[in-house]
Amino acid sequence: MSDAQPPRLDLLRFLERVQLQDLERTRGWIAAEEQRLAEEASRQPLPPPPDWELQTDLSGRPMQVHTDGCRMGGKGFRMKPLTRDAALRAVGVDQVPTCPYCRPDVALGVLD
């Protein structure tokens, strides 16, 4: 019987195949976990809409404060959700104008 060792290159190629199989198995575990997390997230209820929103101009400067659902404020990236405290600060301290249609100042108790 021969005690000849396999060539080093053959051993390295074998190691490469084993590592590629391990990598594929790990990628499968990752994909399964991502799928599980996506399914779990889809079952979570959506957060409630904000009570107030800040309308900004195209450069991001504040334009008006609105109540949630006001159709006069625009849509999308120009509307930023506000907490009650942030809305009070915007109206009272920062002097951001309020929408004359939805009247967030009344809802906030700033004006009656």
Structure tokens at 48: 């409630």
For range 71-91, the mean pLDDT? 84
**Residue 22 included in any domain:** yes
Looking at the fold, whether 36 and 63 belong to one and the same domain comes out as no
**Percent of the chain whose pLDDT exceeds 90:** 47
pTM of the prediction?
A: 0.56
Residues 57 and 40 in one domain: no
User: 40 with 64, same domain?
Assistant: no
User: Could you list the residue range(s) of the whole structural domain that residue 15 is in?
Assistant: 7-44
Q: Which residues share a beta bridge with 98?
A: 65
pLDDT score, position 112: 45
Q: Are residues 57 and 85 in the same domain?
A: yes
> How many domains are contained in the chain?
2
56 and 38 co-located in one domain: no
Whether residue 100 sits in one domain with residue 56: yes
Distances (CA, A) of 42 to 21, 28, 76: 32, 21, 22
Q: What pLDDT sits at residue 3?
A: 67
pLDDT digits (tens, 9 = 90+) for 18-47: 999 999 999 999 999 999 999 999 998 887
90 contacts: CB under 8 Å, gap ≥ 6 = 54, 62, 65, 82, 96
Same domain, 37 and 61: no
